[in-house]
């Protein structure tokens, strides 16, 4: 009987505390034909000890031992550990559309790269694998808490002997999974919440959570295929920014959530918009990262105060701040992916299958997705031009 060994490595990405597989998932996936080996210390940031993994049935080893023994290696952020063997399978969130150099290096050793940010999220049978949604739900919840902590006043209306404090007014920009989670959390904290999305159909979801929907006249509809927002034209984007700038100044807290996998996030909060906000206001940018963010002045991570007293927080990796919960959700997604790929102890990479064909970036040295093949070719051409 064939046996597949699944390896779990310690995250080395700066500030990352999550782990790809938790002890409870080790128990779920371990069978006579699937074994698990975990790098020592991999779960420390998520409060899982090596002994927790041993108890669950995993072996503990060094990074080299994991790489030497595992045919499948699981991670959270993009990983390229030394000593990878030809044909090994890497599963994680690789963001391949803008990490083309990494993908080309992995392609050169004929690794199979499975990137879960490419998952077709509208497929009902893929929902248990949906890493982006599970992590966005946690990020939206945490964003509201981060905003409340940074805001120097109460979120709820409070009546005391010293007088009445008015509730904070909160604007959520983007009502996907993260936005809806932020709306619900801010509402539970007692704030008066308004939300905006370019998709008119989002209004019903916003109002069902007890929030108001901000309607702009500059973009009639930004709805795209599959329920997602489409890319706005330059004219639409400029009109949207101008109209949003007027609205943003009325709010105490703004939380932005418009992150586009593999692409630069759209600017929703301009410098003019921040200049219109009151001293003490807070902006939390959940899209902040290597490619920028939704706020014009944002830094990839960390906070700073503007000249007019507005606190801007770059918060692109909030799930890491809730590593135990985020790792638990992520590991369950990974478990579903492994059960999809491993049959009778053997990993089957059928690139013609509906789900597998979407999440496999490169297999045995060749790019699978046409879009990614174009991105890899474009990256090579640009490198040649710059040389």
pLDDT for 344-370, tens place per residue? Answer: 889 999 999 989 999 999 998 888 876
Kindly report which listed range (144-148, 232-236, 379-383) carries the lowest average pLDDT score: 379-383
Asked whether 48 and 23 are in contact (CB, 8 A), the reply is yes
Give the pLDDT band of residue 198 (cuts 50, 70, 90).
Answer: confident
Kindly report which listed range (6-20, 59-73, 352-366) carries the lowest average pLDDT score: 352-366
pLDDT at 146 over 70: yes
Check 166, 221, 228, 250 and give the catalytic one.
228
Which segments of 191-300 are extended strands (E)?
Answer: 192-196, 212-213, 253-256, 282-285
Q: DSSP assignment, residue 22?
A: -
The whole-number average pLDDT for the span 27-39 is: 95
pLDDT at 223 over 60: no
pLDDT at 21 over 60: yes
Is 121 tagged catalytic?
yes
3-state secondary structure of 385: helix
Is 332 tagged catalytic?
no
Quote the CA–CA distance of 317 and 213 in Å, as a whole number.
27
The whole-number average pLDDT for the span 289-317 is: 92
Is 285 tagged catalytic?
no
Taken in order 84, 88, 90, 94, the sign of the CA dihedral is: positive
SS3 helix, strand, coil % of the chain, rounded to 5? 40, 20, 40
Check 28, 99, 117, 130 and give the catalytic one.
130
Crossing angle for the helix pair 131-150 and 323-341, to the nearest 10 degrees: 170
In angstroms, the first-to-last Cα distance of the chain is 51
Write phi, then psi, for 60 (nearest 5 degrees). -115, 135
Quote the CA–CA distance of 115 and 201 in Å, as a whole number.
30
Quote the CA–CA distance of 123 and 18 in Å, as a whole number.
26
Q: Any residues with CB less than 8 A from the CB of 115 and at least 6 apart, and which?
A: 92, 93, 94, 95, 96, 359, 361
pLDDT at 251 over 90: yes
Check 30, 40, 127, 297 and give the catalytic one.
127
pLDDT on residue 383: 34
Higher pLDDT, 262 or 266: 266
**What does the DSSP assignment read for 160-188?**
ETTEEEPPPEEEEE--SHHHHHHHHHHHH
pLDDT at 216 over 60: yes
pLDDT on residue 221: 59
Is 130 tagged catalytic?
yes
- Domains of the chain (ranges, CATH numbers): 4-129+322-386 (3.40.50.720), 136-316 (3.40.50.720)
Tokens of 116: 């879960």
pLDDT at 382 over 50: no
pLDDT, tens digit (0-9, with 9 covering 90-100), for 306-332:
999 999 999 999 999 999 999 999 999
Write phi, then psi, for 215 (nearest 5 degrees). -105, 125
Asked whether 90 and 79 are in contact (CB, 8 A), the reply is yes
pLDDT at 166 over 90: yes
Arithmetic mean of pLDDT over the chain: 90
Give the pLDDT band of residue 236 (cuts 50, 70, 90).
Answer: confident
Is 133 tagged catalytic?
yes
pLDDT on residue 205: 95
Residues pairing with 347 in the sheet? 342
Give the pLDDT band of residue 301 (cuts 50, 70, 90).
Answer: confident
């Amino acid at each position: 009987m064939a046996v597949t060994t699944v390896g779990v490595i310690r995250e080395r990405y700066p500030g990352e505390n999550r782990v790809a597989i938790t002890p409870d998932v080790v128990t779920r996936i371990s069978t006579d034909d699937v074994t698990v080996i975990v790098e020592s210390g991999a779960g420390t940031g998520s409060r899982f000890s090596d002994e927790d993994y041993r108890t669950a049935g995993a072996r503990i080893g060094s990074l080299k031992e994991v790489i030497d023994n595992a045919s499948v290696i699981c991670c959270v952020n993009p990983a390229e550990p030394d000593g990878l063997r030809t044909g090994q399978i890497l599963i994680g969130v690789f963001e391949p559309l803008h990490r083309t150099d990494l993908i080309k290096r992995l392609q050169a050793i004929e690794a199979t790269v499975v990137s879960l940010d490419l998952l077709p999220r509208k497929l009902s049978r893929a929902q248990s694998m949906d890493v982006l949604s599970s992590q966005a739900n946690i990020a939206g919840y945490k964003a509201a808490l981060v905003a409340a902590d940074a805001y120097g006043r109460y979120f709820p209306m409070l009546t005391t002997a010293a007088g009445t404090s008015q509730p904070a007014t909160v604007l959520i920009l983007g009502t996907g999974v993260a936005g809806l989670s932020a709306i619900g959390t801010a509402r539970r904290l007692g704030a008066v919440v308004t939300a905006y999305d370019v998709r008119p159909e989002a209004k019903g979801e916003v109002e069902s959570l007890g929030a108001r929907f901000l309607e702009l006249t500059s973009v009639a509809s930004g709805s795209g295929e599959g329920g997602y927002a489409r890319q706005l034209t330059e004219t639409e984007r400029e009109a949207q920014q101008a109209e949003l700038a007027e609205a943003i100044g009325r709010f105490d807290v703004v939380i932005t959530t418009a992150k586009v996998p593999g692409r630069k996030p759209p600017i929703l909060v301009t410098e003019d918009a921040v200049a219109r906000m009151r001293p003490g206001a807070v902006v939390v940018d959940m899209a902040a990262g290597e490619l920028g963010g939704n706020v014009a002045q944002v830094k990839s991570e960390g906070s700073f105060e503007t000249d007019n007293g507005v606190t801007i927080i770059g918060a692109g990796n909030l799930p890491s701040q809730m590593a135990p919960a985020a790792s638990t959700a992520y590991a369950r997604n990974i478990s579903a992916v492994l059960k999809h790929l491993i049959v009778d102890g053997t990993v089957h990479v059928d690139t013609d299958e509906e789900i597998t064909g979407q999440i496999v970036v490169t297999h045995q040295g060749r790019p699978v997705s046409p879009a990614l093949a174009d991105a890899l070719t474009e990256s090579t051409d640009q490198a040649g031009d710059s040389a």
